[in-house]
Structure 1
Amino acid sequence: MGNRLDKDLAEDEAQDATGCAYCSEKVRLVSFKQLNPGDHICQGGRSFLRHMNRKQKNLYTHHAIVKKVICENLNDHSAVLTLIHYTDTPYDTNLKIRETTETRDLRLDEMYLVRYIHRKFQPNQVLDRAQKLLEHDPKYSLVSLNCEHFCTCCITGEEFSSQSENVIEKLKNALFSIVKVVSKIVRFCDITADDVANVVKKLSMNVSLLRIAAAAFSGLVLIVSLTTNIVKHSLLCNKVKNDRICKNCYNHKVRSMWFSLIFLSFPAIANILVGLLITSGPILAGILVPLSVLSLVMVWGSNKFCQVVRSPFTGDKIRVDDVRNVQVGDVILYQYYKLLHEAVVSSVDSHTGSKLGKVHVIHYGTKSLFSTREIIKEELKINLDKMEIFKLDYSCYTVYPPEEVVLRAGQRIGEKKFGVFTNRSCHFCHWAKVNENFDTILTLDQGKYPFFHLADFPHQVFKDQSTYRPPSTSLIKKTWIKIKSEVRDGNAIQFTYRGHLHKGICTKVITTETARELKLNVVHYSYQEHLGVHEVREEAISFDLSVENVYIYHYHPAHRYSRKEIIDRARTKIGEKKYRKFSRNSSHLVEEIILKDKEEVINSPSELCEGDIVSFFYWGKRHKAVLVSIDEDNGDKKCSMQVIHYGSLSGVRTVVEEKRVIDLAGHNLRKVNFSEYFTYPGNMVIKRARKRLGEQKYSLFHNNSSQLAHWAKVDSQIKDI
């Protein structure tokens, strides 16, 4: 596909740098301080957005270029963003490149920053390119020119959409699935002809024709796939010449493309041979059944296999011509037991001229090819006349200083958790070299982009005020602990306890002599064997990180309490004995301690104000209402309050104002959080709710008590910029 957008950007000054849209990565935003003008962001599309099991699910993603960021001064989870992107408006449903100013809240908007290893244009150039395309207004196309094509072209000069490519790949796999279905039809017809003797002659010609048709169809699919790969290979070669893809991504895509074709060709070739050469029904069935299963596994696993065997490093490899260029903290690539292998240079002992030298490296080594692999430090003698050595170029990554790279690598010496797909030497070196800490935040120029208070911000920006906006995913990622310094107080950890995976809250990291020894105070559901019950206790637990696996669950700051609050909340649970294997286990305990709920539990009437939206049990189910007034509790943890809601009046659902008595001791009263919305003052909320007293238009899905409360509380008017 040619670059349609570049026609409008032909006057741009030519760049020498290589731009590559293929080796980008999506990083979950934990704070709007991570954003800068010229960045590429994406989030789930508004349509078909759902929330399931604390995860936000979406059918597609929407992409945009950031022009301006203004953070809220109370927290960095809310911001007003000026974006340039393909979008519509409430007054114009045509998708066009527009500049819009919108509010975003990370509690609801699951947003990602798209980071590029090789970006052709700098942020100011990206904004200039986006502005030019805004003026030229190229026509939107779902497949060939969507919002993702626009963003990648602005940054790398290459129109690329991973969503479009994924759809095409799935369609190709579906085509090969049709081949397998056709082969099964052939087998079924053949067996039927053998079993039904009185119609054998009548069906024999039809079965033969069906076999020939299946073989011809398989051959056609194979030819089309081969032709497609040749064309794609040619296009990739042109992109390399025009600096639109890096060499590493080019090599990976070419290998993956032809490797997948080889796997996908097996069922097509087998259908041709089996369909044309074998005529016996039982033999045909005996061959096609395992063949169909094998081909299905190959089709599903080919792309997965290419991904897991790929190194996490995506930069360039630089051949070492002078041994003096090898420095402490470098990651080098060389032949180790006849296989390419990566290692961290921990020290440079000596060098003789430019070809001979001696260094020490830390890597996953072994005494023999099939013995147990272990992270070791050993001497490597270099002779560039007899061996090839490459340095890996990490200039496009955020890396640790050389001395810290060596320190991190040295702390894992003795580890014996080698994994062919997940923990090879390349994974170890990448971890030691690259700073992938998602807590690292880039700060904005506070003078240029001042903070604001969301409640005081004028309603001159677009904000989604709909009733049921699904919250963003609470869990960011799960990481495997390599060294003890990665664990902090307040972390949610997972470990093996009594032979099963188990979770707890780390309340204190205890000092130990080595980096591989991890000792923690953990609040968790401990099994009291002498009593035969599970009880929440705080216990000291030790782990040997050389052989044991311990994981950290990182939850989004917008959804979790502070570390101090988490520790305090965990200790309040000590002594609890409410364990249930499926409904109240260690995972439920950890999430209850860490995560903020949409509804906050009320322990005292003083925590509420007039006009708040409260939630309580009504006819055995959770029910929302507008709070008009509340009385102080009378000592027995019960309080009376005046509320407006859809109540049952003589068997008919009617909006009424009535008095309710609530037991606070049972945590039956909760306050609904509306901090991510523009809301009316408390007196206005009550006034709006009273306007609907006596209404009898109740609907379970379209006009219930929750929607009444939302309508009264939220200012849903749309106002132009």
Structure 2
Amino acid sequence: MICFTGPLLIVKVVTILKCVARRGVRLLLHDALSSIFDLPDCEDPVMHCLECVKREVVFTIDEVHVGDHIVFCGYIYDHHAIVSEVNSEEKSIKYFEATNTTLGFLYDVLRRFKKAHIKETEMLNFPNSDIQLVVYKNREHDINVILRRAQECADDYDYCIPTNNCEHFATYCVTGVALSTQSGKFRIILDLFIDGCLCAVFDEGKRNIVLKKGGLLCDSCYEQNALLLGVSLKPITNSNDVNPGDIIRYRYNCLNHEAVILTASCEDERQIIRCHIAHYAFCLFRHMTITEEVISIKFNGKYNVVNYGEARNCVLYEPSEVCQRARSRINKTLFLLFVNDSTHFARWCKLKFCEI
């Protein structure tokens, strides 16, 4: 026993020191990220909340109005702007923006040392553009004030990616407070990744807590998410456990994933159900797309039905309506991390009303 005490003690000490070092690095990185991407003080928590400030996809030019906060979806980052003019006949809009293309952004930043032009740009190919509208919950905005703020920023705008980017510009014009959920999400993603790698980023329970602590969820939305996360899962062990209109949860690309069951039929006498599902499918080099696919569910307990009906104050759509809503979104590229992922899509299809 005495012979092994020394080596074991050394191993334990080294292990403890490694843990302390890792924890120290995590804290240092967390503090650094918080100082760079920290949210400004704001009396209204709804303005920071990812659930209260929602994005909606624009399908026609009639849905866009002067003073609207719009987003052009990109592969690396999203670009934000304020609509200044709408021409329904020519299907074109004009908008104020902090920068234009990626090259234009780099040129402006390098040439002006953090300066960027606020300029009015005209877009003619509206039907071919991937545009989203930012909807602020329970808020009314004066169009004249929004446009005046945009024009005032044109004189002198200090561009800084983490603290004063195009989203800061757009939210300032609408609300009077410069905010960027894009920067906040980046900080949260890195924070989660440091703590638990990629799986932690997609762990909705852990993410809900971190988003609340990080100021990106208001109390009401945090409680609602916690309520829906607390519902039970029923393992699929026979053909009677799953039906059209159900929401299932399973592992997809090594991560938890939800999908809507469109049809379900037993495959011969084997322990398998063949199902048509609607879900956000992984697309390499493209935006995640809502797709209808066929999967085979084995009765091994790895697929579960999510019992959203257990959540109090929640009203569900009828199964046929759930399937109809899911099919209405097939081929749509609406994926947005933290705001509209596979779980958000499934809940949108299933939940008619849910309030704390």
> What's the TM-score bracket when you normalise by the shorter of the two chains?
0.3 to 0.5
* Structure ID, larger Rg: 1
Going by fraction, where is helix more abundant, 1 or 2? 2
What TM-score results when the alignment is normalised by the length of structure 2? 0.46
